[in-house]
Amino acid sequence: MTESNHHGGLRTRRSTFALGAATLAGTVAASGPDAFALARPVAAPSPASDGQVPFHGVHQAGILTPQQRFGGFAAFDVTCGDRAELTALFRKLTERARTLTAGLKPKTPQEGGTERPRDRLTITLGVGASLFDERFGLAAARPPGLTRMPSFPGDRLEMRTCHGDLSVQVCADNPDAVLHVVRDLAREAAGAMRARWRVDGFINPPRPAGAPRTFLGFKDGTAHPDTASAREMDRLVWLGAKSAGPAWARGGTYQVIRAIRLRAEAWDRVPAAQQEKMFGRQKSSGAPLGGKKESDVPDYAKDPKGLVTPLDSHIRRANPRTPQSADSVLLRRSYNVDQGLAPDGTLDLGLAFCCYQQDVARQFETVQKRLEGERLADFTTTTGGGYFLALPGVKDKKDWYGSKLLGS
């Protein structure tokens, strides 16, 4: 992550991730990072040498897991008729996720084919506020922090690419693995859930070293909350005994997804020196303005008037590095998006922004409010996404997604 760890930001004229339900089913911000940063959680349960990330645990994989090169996000509307069918759906999703992340056993020569690589595949399931309506008798179980994502100043939200009963995040080292999972879940859960929207993305390789660059041309992902610290993760990410909300949600975390579009051509016409002032970093090295190395931490106390790092620069708004802003840090897991050309012939580039936190209001929304009025917002538009709660982990082979929510 970098300074803000968040950006609800890249605003759009056209959704970077609308896929109709039929199409998908058929093919199926301590120091937070900068909003545009591609956060790369750096410490987590280590994947096995064979490329398999453990599926079982107190928390779901794909949150602290070191970030894979490719990621996809999809939201679904549940079409189950009652709570029993919803329970069956969650059991089915657990079964498929457990099987897919374990990889397939080698086929015999007679059967044809070979073992599918595990790809460090992770599948992370979340629930939206709409799941807690009158359909399944879950209203009283809704965590108070799980709400419908509002429209922030500058957003141009398209309802067909917003919200959903369920969210599925799929991350892997290869893009075909991401698509395979989405297709598999759509097939296996046909009749129980219907795709609402989907977006896929990727991380650019570091050039030449250090953090990768986004489509803005700046290196991001240089600052992270300490994912190796259980204390920091309990403070910033995981819902625990002291968190507001029901006991069933403990071990989970709030997920924010935002589809952001970049006005690439307009950005490219801005001189590099002005881009650096808007962003707050040097374009070539990634160092903060006034610094020498990408990892240097800006000292805003020595620059109260913004003579070095402008007061309205992105990284300073996103993370002013004050004692008051320490509790608004969030964990980002975002991906670049390239959708080719928009209908008007402009480049359709952006960001599939994702972040995890213990409290959306305290973290994501606080950072979002600080970013209002930043100059960088003139080049970004948010068009879709939603708020979800990533469920607690599946503890063992007998457990399943949402078991404490729906009852065993």
Tell me the angle at which helices 175-188 and 83-102 cross, rounded to the nearest 10 degrees.
Answer: 150
**What is the reported pLDDT for 104?**
59
Q: How does pLDDT run across 247-267, given as a tens digit for each residue?
A: 999 999 999 999 999 999 999
List phi, psi (to 5°) of 129: -60, -30
What is the mean pLDDT, run by run of 10 residues, along the chain of 408 residues?
42 39 34 43 47 95 96 97 97 97 61 63 98 96 97 95 98 95 94 96 87 86 82 96 92 98 96 96 92 91 95 92 88 95 94 96 95 92 97 97 90
Q: Are 256 and 163 in contact (CB under 8 A)?
A: no
Q: How far is the C-alpha of 184 from the C-alpha of 25, rounded, in Å?
A: 9
Give the DSSP per-residue string, 296-329: PPP-GGG-TT-SSS-TTSHHHHH----GGGGGG-
Q: How does pLDDT run across 276-286, given as a tens digit for each residue?
A: 999 999 999 99
| Gyration radius of the chain's alpha carbons | 21
Angle at 20 between CA 83 and CA 339, to 5 degrees: 130
Angle at 152 between CA 148 and CA 155, to 5 degrees: 105
Structure-token pair, residue 132 = 């807690």
**What is the reported pLDDT for 407?**
85
**What is the reported pLDDT for 235?**
95
**What is the reported pLDDT for 18?**
42
**What is the reported pLDDT for 7?**
44
